[in-house]
Structure 1
Amino acid sequence: MKALKINLDQLITFYFIVIEGSLSGASARLCISQPAVTMQIAALQKQFGVKLIRVKKKKVNLTKAGEMLFIHAEEAYRSAMRAESLLHGHRSNNLRIGVAAALMVYLIPVVDQFTELYPSVKVTVREGRSLNIIEELLDFEHDLCIVGAFENVNKELRAFHIPDVERMILVGAPGDPLAQRQMVQWKDLDGYPFILHCEGSIARTVITREFRKRNIKPSISAEIDNIKCMKRLIESGKGVGLMFYPNVKEEIAHHELSIIPLVDGDLKVGIDVIVNRETALSPPAADFLALTGSRFGCIIAAGDQGFPA
């Protein structure tokens, strides 16, 4: 077999220069200095005598050869990441999970049960916004992710849908005017101070879709990506908010928050368990997936894990 003349590190550096659109962006993604990035791409161009990029005002533009090479650079990078994910996955003591912040309360019991059943497996859980977690899954940083139900799942992913896991409830401070009423309708939220989840959250997508459907425009007091901060703002009377009951049940029990009943329709949210199509599911991930299905009363078939095509 003929030995490769191309330096794969240089090829990957070229890939990130294109993805980030700048040498500084590639430097940040690769965690190396910008001069090192410049040296890598210069060496690659010099070795083959081909100009790949042009830098003008710190912005990278591809030559025709660069455009053609990028296709192979992307394939090389994704192939290397698949290989790395495969090796990680076949370490029987490792499981990496991404979870949407609002759904952490549902994941904790499953993780606790899993660690009891499989004490030798190291479970790493990363919490974040749903869209960020999914981007990390596409970059092979997780074995699986648990997020709010998506309407359209990226074709590179496979999703198992668990419908109507929990309804979102409207909550406010006990002294909030809406909390004093016996009957509240969705239309009462039009123009009303409202605390909303930040961009990138599936909860936000579900809520804003409901508002659009009902032609409601609340007055957004704040956009928060932290559940604790959201609860504190609502408790202080800055507005009302729609939240999952398990995330606020303690505050409701202590009368720090009040449930505001909506009489004209519940807002129910499902969960998607998502894996990357490009990687084989490791034994720990398959076991965790089955345990998750059992927790929510779903049967996840072996082999294809019950995911729709």
Structure 2
Amino acid sequence: MQMNLPERVTMIEVGPRDGLQNEHHFIDTEIKKAFIQKLADAGMKEMEITSFVSPKWVPQMQDAAEIVQSRPSGVRNIVLVPNRKGIEQALETSCKSVAVFVGVSNSFNKKNINRSTLESMAELQPMIAELKGKNFFVRACISTSFYCPYEGKVSEADVLGLCQEFADVGVDELSVADTIGMATPFESFSLFSKLKERLPDMMIAAHFHDTRRLAMANIYAALQAGIDRFDASAGGLGGCPFAPGATGNVATEDVVYMLERMGIETCIDLEKIVEAIDVIAPALSRKIETGYYQLAKNG
């Protein structure tokens, strides 16, 4: 049977940022540093490690400057910067890779950052140009690319249009997210096929949450559509404070296990991913229940 699959996939680890942002109690900075280093030791070459956001709204990220200062070498360490203040904080550090984000859905965007999608883009475009002028790597995270918790089904045309706007302003990568985990494999294949056709030279990552246990099927569909970059979170950590009911990101270890079994190279050491999860697990408010991790721990 002939399948349209890549020979190699790049994994982008989002556990330290997207995975931890929804934890209600503050996790010790030294534990976060050890978690990030263990992920780097496992072979992760691209990671979202923290975010420069208001500690009032996301208190978990109040130690962002210290996390950036101790980031591992040889890794693209990405820091989320949602607004001008976040960018100014990033510019005060030595980091050179940032992520911005916009929700396709106006309702989600307003709940998240109190701006419409149009207002967000008007603010972001000159900031992205400034960052590119300073040789930053800029990742654009496209939230609610399939469904919105407030508006329901999101139009493919709206997603494609927003992605085109980001491409036109010069971002390096698009991370296209199923924020509340409602997409089906058919919808995954359809959207990512159209994105690859429209933006053939753009780096595109798929970002799936596993709320309805469809993330792995959606990844398989995205692979068929030509996607070879995937966001994932060690231990399936995550959730979004502005998306009621959304559970964690798809688990890094489960995705890597599936891909490697399919003969797709990831260059990730699964045993070391388990070691990384062991570092963070005792500090979490919930148990890690992902498939591969449970099997690794229980024999």
Greater share of residues in strand = 1
TM-score range, shorter chain: under 0.3
TM-score normalised over the length of structure 2: 0.26
Q: Which has the larger radius of gyration?
A: 1
